[in-house]
């Protein structure tokens, strides 16, 4: 590969906001000679090292595993949560998907239920509270039957796993025009309603998780499918349909 | 320093039962009068928090991330071991015990490892009951695969996301207890100091990561579940925020630190590609079930892998270790990769890589089957490297992954500080000098779900713990210490950034020092050199680091600086430990101590002990203590995987 393709120059428009009370705004930065093998977050590291040594303030952003599984990272890049590559978290997005001279606009995951705490960092505690409302099987440690006591067809286990793959990053909420968390909530309700272990509590679970979701200020689903399009784990909106069935059954039957 | 392992008497197979019987209990009505602090919410911390809360204790749990679900346990890919013998291939508790203690190169405690094997089966039952979607056979029973260092299939898995699914299981149990009010969850709070009152662990000082505020928290016992210290090397497979701070704070308050030089270098990681690199990515060991490791026979061969004919390839693991082949333990696989690269046979741009080839497995089982097993790993590999493992072999190289060393604990998982417990990767207890694949998840959950509850009851039942609040001298002085330390960190930044350096620059310097001199192969000369060079890096840090912003706000540079300051101190005992141990064992290869075939050569006469370091004060040389290891049920042998 030639040098030209290996290294690119970039203009960055990044949302800067001092804290949750402050008014934020975009700031513009330029970076030269960015290797296309870098991840998006490594590009931000390079920017932050540069800002630090210039006496400026580095951009605050959430990140941890940098392997696409912890769900900590995320920002809206050029209008798309986690950026342009499908089924890819921000940490797994690589600079080879950008061209020299590109202007990249980077914003936090915005939603009523996700207040900005600083720059690109938002508070996603609402998602934890939705899980606390019923995203579990109510069993204590110990006294459980042998793991092979209940056979679960492989296809069912795989469907449950498809839903369970959710990393709780909140991209679905950030990309939904209604700020809905139904993909997130639907994935957990689906996982547990598909498996025999979750069946005993399926009614209360559906009712209380949906109630918690509304209480946190998440919006409703109007079938925009934006959530599915940006989900880094490819969670299907079929899970929202499953959640709705669970909710309806729990409400009327 | 008193080191009593408190291993119960009696035959190995009965120790845990008899210990549970002789342990004191706290009756259910009294448990609600106690409060337990748990720092860290990975597999060990979350499972312990949920379990203790279910038992009726009041729990206050802390994590540095925005949610307890993000702990680095989530990144474990391959699986979790258990002695279920569902495959009817000769597995048993005794065999899992033996494989684990042998895999650890006979540097762990028999009684602890046996207990781990015993509770392994309960873990699988527990997780299935929580709704963890493990992989299943078509008949609906649980599926297994093989991992390194074992000749049976005992590893349970959920695609390549086993850690995620197990952590979400523990997180769901924890969430249920948060809802019930028995657990108070404190996110984005970093433990800055341990507080001792009358010699007992009674609380912690935390810093609120969002506001910078320091807070005092009191409890009747403190459990650390804060993971390993692999990030001392800067580049590792650990999450960016993984750190040694909580363990190091405890060490400086008197807790012994055991086997700090035992660091697992994982053989199958994506090779380093640039100096901007922030972390290394692991490719699960499970890939070695079907992938074949090879290098060109001819040094300096730069042909593409496809154009190197079969007879010019060296499948060196299969050739050298015919009975375990590509599934030798991690330390053996890592050292052999290094050996091949040192001999000039490394591949790729940097020549610091070997091939992991799936071509034969794809021919044998078909693309579909291989993708079903490893699809997400292949996808992850392609995202990072822009190369598809279905079409060309993966390139892999060893990277720092897991730390077997950690806080010294007795059979109860209690450190030598009364009331301070350490669980999961944070302790040293079960993996000796090398951890086998799929055993970290097992140990984290064993400690949290099934062991520490007994220990807490026993501790509270045997000791009169006075009630106290945070309004006392010990908490005040600990808080002042933290304040002083934060001020000291920011001192060098007062006059601006000019002529200064960043936290990451110094961290990279420390990392390189450790990787070059205290990495995959170690020798006296290099270790001594590293010990001499370390103070200069420490000095540079304190005099020359620039940290923008203040302590009273969200300041990620300050967070990293605090953690690096502790890594810089911790590195000293790591190097000293490696220098002291003039034998090779497991991960620790001293070049002076090798067999004729370049395998690690142990010296059981001199080194059959756990090394435990005691902090003697700032600037003082730490003191080495020894816990001698007794083997009554296995005969330590030279490990052979041929």
Nearest CB partner across the interface for B126, out of A38, A49, A141: A141
Domain assignment of residue B221, given as a range: 33-263+402-462
Predicted confidence (pLDDT) at residue A195 exceeds the cutoff of 90:
yes
Read off the pLDDT of each residue in B283-291 and give the average, rounded to a whole number: 89
pLDDT digits (tens, 9 = 90+) for B358-375: 999 999 999 999 998 888
- Average model confidence (pLDDT) for chain A? 96
**Is residue B170 domain-shared with residue B258, that is, in the same domain?**
yes
Average pLDDT for B423-442: 96
* Residue B584 is assigned to a structural domain of this protein: yes
Q: Write out B536-599 in H/E/C secondary structure.
A: HHHHHHHHHECCCCCCCCCCHHHHHHHHHHHHHHHHHHHHHHHHHCCCCECCECECCCECCCCC
Catalytic residue among B31, B109, B288, B330: B330
Which domains are delineated in chain A?
A: 3-117 (3.10.20.30), 125-252 (1.10.1060.10)
* Nearby residues of A112 by Cβ (< 8 Å), 6 or more positions away: A179, A217, A218, A219
Segment B168-191, tens digit of pLDDT:
999 999 999 999 999 999 999 999
User: How do B609-614 and B420-422 pair as beta strands?
Assistant: unpaired
pLDDT of residue A4: 44
Look at residue A43 and tell me whether its pLDDT is greater than 60. yes
Domain count, chain B: 3
B148 and B80 in a common domain: yes
Query: Is A2's pLDDT higher than 70?
Result: no
* Percent of chain B's residues with pLDDT above 70: 100
Please determine, for residue B195, whether its predicted confidence score (pLDDT) is greater than 80. Answer: yes
pLDDT of residue B641: 81
Task: Check whether residue B288 and residue B316 sit in a common domain.
Answer: yes
CATH, residue B512: 1.20.58.100
Residues B137 and B47 in one domain: yes
Residue at B108 is within a domain: yes
- Predicted confidence band of residue A5 (pLDDT cuts 50, 70, 90): low
The pTM score is 0.97
Half-sphere exposure of B586 (CA within 13 A, CB side): 33
Residue B336 has a pLDDT of: 94
Write down the pLDDT at residue B175: 98
Residue from B47, B18, B438, B92 nearest B225 by CA: B47
Q: Do B499 and B588 fall within a single domain?
A: yes
Same domain, B141 and B290: no
CATH number for the domain spanning B115: value is: 3.50.50.60
Arithmetic mean of pLDDT over chain B? 96
Q: Inter-chain contact B140–A153, Cβ cutoff 8 Å?
A: yes
Say if B630 falls within a structural domain. Answer: no
Q: Which of B441, B462, B483 is the last residue of a domain?
A: B462
Query: Which of B363, B378, B401 is a domain's end point?
Result: B401
**Residue B642 domain-assigned?**
no
Whether B192 and B58 map to the same domain: the answer is yes
User: How far is the C-alpha of A26 from the C-alpha of A12, rounded, in Å?
Assistant: 9
- On whether both B422 and B533 belong to a single domain, the answer is no
Task: Choose the weakest-confidence range: A61-75, B242-256, B275-289, B556-570.
Answer: B275-289
Is B22 a member of any domain?
no
Q: In the structure encoding, which two tokens stand for residue B580, read together?
A: 């002291």
Collect contacts of B248-252 with beta carbons under 8 A, ≥24 apart.
B248/B566, B248/B569, B248/B570, B249/B191, B249/B192, B249/B193, B249/B194, B249/B566, B250/B194, B250/B201, B250/B224, B250/B407, B250/B415, B250/B417, B250/B420, B250/B422, B251/B407, B251/B613, B251/B615, B252/B615
Question: Taking CB atoms and an 8 Å cutoff, what residues of chain A touch B178?
Answer: 128, 132
The pLDDT value given to residue B639: 80
* B126 shares a domain with B230: yes
Residue B23 lies in a domain: no
> Nearest residue of B to residue A61 by CA position?
B556
Taking contacts as CB-CB distances below 8 angstroms, the residues of chain A near B126 are 141-142, 144
Question: Do B171 and B209 have their domain in common?
Answer: yes
| B440 and B482 share one domain | no
Helix then strand count (H, E) for chain A reads: 9, 7
A101 inside 8 A of chain B by CB: no
A86-95, B7-16, B322-331: least confident range:
B322-331
State the average pLDDT over residues B102-127. 97
d(CA A110, CA A171): 9
In a shared domain, residues B270 and B200: no
Q: Which of B426, B443, B462 is the last residue of a domain?
A: B462
Mean pLDDT along residues B530-544:
98
Q: How far apart are CA B191 and CA B249, in angstroms?
A: 9
Instruction: Establish if B468 belongs to a structural domain.
Output: no
> What pLDDT shows up at residue B274?
86
Q: Which two tokens stand for residue A51?
A: 């800002």
Percentage of chain B beyond pLDDT 90 is 92
**Whole-number pLDDT of residue B78:** 84
CATH classification at residue B328: 3.90.700.10
ipTM of the complex: 0.98
Q: Do A141 and B179 touch (CB under 8 A)?
A: no
Q: Is residue B4 part of a domain?
A: no
Tokens of B620: 């003082």
- The predicted model gives B231-260 an average pLDDT of 98
């Amino acid at each position: 590969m030639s040098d030209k393709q290996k290294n690119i120059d970039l203009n960055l428009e990044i949302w800067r906001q001092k804290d949750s009370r402050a008014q934020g705004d975009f700031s513009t930065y330029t970076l030269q000679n960015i290797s296309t093998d870098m991840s998006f977050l490594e590009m931000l590291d390079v920017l932050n090292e540069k800002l630090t040594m210039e006496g400026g303030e580095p951009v605050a952003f959430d990140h941890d595993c940098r392997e696409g599984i912890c769900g900590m990272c995320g920002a809206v890049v050029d209008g798309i949560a986690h950026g342009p590559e499908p089924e890819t978290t921000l940490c797994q997005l690589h600079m080879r998907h950008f061209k020299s001279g590109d202007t990249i606009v980077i914003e936090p995951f915005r939603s009523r239920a996700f207040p900005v705490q600083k720059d690109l960092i938002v508070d996603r505690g609402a998602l934890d509270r939705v899980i606390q409302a019923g995203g579990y099987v109510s069993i204590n440690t110990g006294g459980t039957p042998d793991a092979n006591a209940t056979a679960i067809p492989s296809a069912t286990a795989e469907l449950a796993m498809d839903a369970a793959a959710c990393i709780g990053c909140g991209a679905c909420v950030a990309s939904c025009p209604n700020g809905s968390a139904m993909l997130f909530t639907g994935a957990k309700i689906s996982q547990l309603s598909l498996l025999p272990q979750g069946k005993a509590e399926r009614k209360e679970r559906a009712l209380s998780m949906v109630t918690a979701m509304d209480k946190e200020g998440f919006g409703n689903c109007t079938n925009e499918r934006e959530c599915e399009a940006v989900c880094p784990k490819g969670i299907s909106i079929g899970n929202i349909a499953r959640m709705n069935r669970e909710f309806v059954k729990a409400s009327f039957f | 320093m008193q080191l009593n392992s408190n291993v119960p008497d009696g035959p190995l197979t009965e120790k845990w039962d008899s210990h549970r019987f002789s342990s004191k209990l706290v009756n259910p009505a009294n448990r609600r009068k106690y409060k337990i602090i748990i720092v860290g919410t990975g597999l060990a911390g979350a499972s312990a928090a949920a379990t203790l809360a279910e038992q009726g204790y009041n729990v206050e749990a802390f994590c540095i991330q925005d949610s307890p679900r993000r702990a680095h346990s989530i990144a474990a890919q391959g699986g979790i071991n258990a002695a279920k013998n569902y495959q009817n291939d000769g597995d048993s508790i005794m065999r899992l015990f033996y494989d684990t203690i042998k895999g650890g190169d006979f540097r762990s405690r028999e009684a602890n490892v046996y207990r781990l094997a015993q509770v392994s089966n309960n873990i699988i039952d527990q997780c299935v009951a929580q709704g963890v979607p493990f992989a299943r056979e078509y008949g609906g029973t649980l599926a297994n695969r093989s991992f390194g260092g074992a000749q049976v299939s005992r590893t349970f898995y959920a695609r390549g996301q086993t850690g995620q699914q197990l952590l979400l299981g523990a997180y769901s149990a924890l969430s249920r207890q948060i809802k019930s009010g028995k657990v108070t969850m404190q996110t984005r709070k970093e433990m800055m100091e341990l507080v001792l009152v009358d010699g007992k662990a009674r609380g912690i000082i935390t810093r609120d990561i969002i506001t910078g505020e320091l807070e005092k928290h009191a409890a009747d016992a403190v459990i650390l579940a804060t993971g390993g210290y692999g990030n001392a090397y800067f580049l590792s497979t650990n999450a960016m925020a993984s750190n040694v701070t909580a363990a190091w704070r405890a060490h400086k308050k008197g807790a012994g630190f055991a086997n700090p030089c035992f660091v697992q270098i994982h053989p199958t990681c994506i090779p380093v590609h640039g100096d901007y690199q922030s972390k290394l990515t692991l490719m699960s060991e499970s890939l070695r079930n079907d992938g074949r490791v090879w290098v060109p026979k001819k040094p300096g061969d730069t042909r593409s892998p496809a154009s190197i004919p079969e007879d010019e390839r060296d499948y060196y693991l299969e050739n050298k270790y015919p009975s375990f082949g590509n599934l030798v333990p991690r330390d053996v696989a890592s050292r052999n990769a290094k050996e091949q690269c040192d001999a000039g046979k490394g591949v790729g741009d940097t020549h610091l890589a070997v091939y992991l080839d799936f071509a034969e497995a794809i021919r044998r089982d078909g693309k579909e089957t291989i993708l079903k097993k490893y699809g997400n790993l292949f996808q992850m590999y392609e995202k990072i490297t822009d190369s598809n493992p279905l079409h060309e072999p993966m390139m892999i190289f060893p990277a720092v992954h897991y730390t077997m060393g950690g806080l010294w604990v007795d059979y109860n998982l209690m450190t030598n500080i009364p009331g301070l417990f350490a669980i999961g990767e944070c302790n040293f207890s079960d993996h000796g000098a090398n951890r086998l694949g799929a055993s970290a998840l097992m140990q984290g959950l064993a400690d949290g779900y099934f062991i520490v509850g007994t220990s807490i009851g026993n501790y509270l039942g045997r000791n009169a713990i006075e009630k106290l609040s945070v309004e006392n001298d010990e908490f005040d002085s600990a808080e002042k210490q933290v304040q002083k330390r934060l001020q000291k960190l920011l001192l060098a930044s007062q006059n601006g950034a000019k002529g200064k350096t960043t936290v990451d620059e110094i961290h990279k310097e420390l990392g390189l020092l450790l990787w070059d001199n205290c990495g995959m192969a170690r020798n006296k000369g290099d270790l001594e050199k590293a010990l001499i060079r370390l103070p200069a890096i420490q000095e540079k840090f304190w005099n020359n680091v620039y940290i923008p912003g203040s302590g009273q706000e969200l300041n990620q540079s300050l967070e990293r600086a605090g953690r690096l300051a502790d890594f810089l101190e911790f590195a000293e005992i790591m190097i000293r430990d490696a220098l002291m141990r003039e034998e090779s064992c497991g991960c620790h290869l001293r070049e002076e101590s090798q067999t004729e075939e370049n395998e690690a050569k142990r010296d059981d006469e001199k080194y059959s002990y756990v090394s435990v370091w005691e902090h003697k004060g700032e600037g003082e040389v730490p003191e080495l203590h020894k816990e001698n290891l007794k083997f009554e049920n296995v005969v330590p042998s030279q490990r052979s995987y041929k």
